[in-house]
Amino acid sequence: MTLDDAVATVQLTYPQVYHACHTRHQRKRTTEHALSARDSAILAHCGIESPIVPAKLARHLSIAASTLSEAIKKLTQAGYVRRVAQVEGDGRHSGILLTAKGLCAVRETSVLESARLAAVLADVSPADRAAIALGLSKLAEACRRYAERASTRVGGSVS
């Protein structure tokens, strides 16, 4: 598959996924989690296994490190994320991970409605589900790398 073919495929297919599975305009502040849009974005960028370094996350989300620090403090106190040490192996960086409560909040406030997405994924084979999840994970990883390179190259950030 050529690069142009891959671009066209993602551009044609992602809107179909979004249209079929997006929530019907539920306001995040009206959920039991009462998360702001920024809080939800922070949680959506955290993993359950691979910690993210706050400085990188701040650049990616185009917010000040101090703003992110305050948000992480609030999300930690609420039990949505936890801090972990030694993200990059040298002991100088700490990172954040989603907790079980944080994952629940992401699932309940995502733009992709869990029940709709589950119904769609139930209609494909387990092998296809694994391929779909792996493909989207790889796309998200590539997006994070791109945003990191772009923010360090021009001193700005890509959201």
Residues 9-51: pLDDT tens digits? 999 999 899 888 887 655 555 557 778 888 988 999 998 888 8
What is the helix (H) or strand (E) element at residue 84, kind and residue range?
A: strand 81-84
Q: What is the pTM of this model?
A: 0.74
Q: pLDDT tens-digit profile of 91-114?
A: 667 899 999 999 999 888 888 888
* Chosen CATH of 26-111 out of 1.10.10.10, 3.30.420.10, 1.10.150.530, 2.102.10.10: 1.10.10.10
Cβ atoms within 10 Å, residue 42: 26
Domain locations along the chain: 26-111
